[in-house]
């Protein structure tokens, strides 16, 4: 069982930045895929960014050029740098990993962007 704990959410003004962190209970190197999802009130959970163990990275069109996913392959932490934040980025952000075909989720961290 993989445990994931996010941190770094909060309230920020539009145009500002936040950096989310997700600490896993084991090495990032063991995961086939790592990523971030978000869920806004009344909406379905959606992919924000993901990266695979062989280096392929994918971003939602709405965040391309503003968000960057990264990970510490030698450790157990993954990150989501969020710049030029917009009100529509307001959501609960979840980190997600896949290990041996199973999906694991963190508990989520709230990001609120005020105009």
79 vs 4: CA distance, rounded Å: 12
Q: What is the pLDDT of residues 57-94, one digit of tens each?
A: 999 999 999 999 999 878 899 999 999 999 999 999 99
Say if residue 25's pLDDT is above 90: yes
Tell me, what's the pLDDT at 55?
Answer: 85
Residues 6+ apart with CB under 8 A from 103: 96, 97
Nearest by Cα to 91 from 35, 46, 57, 31: 46
Tell me, what's the pLDDT at 101?
Answer: 94
DSSP state of 76: S
Look at strands 109-114 and 10-13 and give their pairing: parallel
11 vs 30: CA distance, rounded Å: 33
């Amino acid at each position: 069982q993989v445990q994931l704990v996010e941190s770094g959410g909060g309230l920020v003004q539009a145009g500002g930045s936040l950096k989310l962190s997700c600490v896993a209970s084991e090495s990032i190197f063991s995961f086939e895929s790592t990523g971030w999802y978000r869920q806004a009130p009344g909406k379905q959970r959606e992919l924000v960014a993901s990266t695979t163990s062989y280096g392929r990275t994918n971003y939602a069109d709405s965040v391309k050029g503003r968000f960057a996913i990264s990970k510490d392959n030698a450790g157990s932490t993954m990150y989501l740098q969020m710049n030029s934040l917009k009100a529509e980025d307001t959501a609960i952000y979840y980190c997600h990993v896949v290990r041996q075909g199973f999906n694991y989720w963190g508990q989520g961290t709230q990001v609120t962007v005020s105009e």
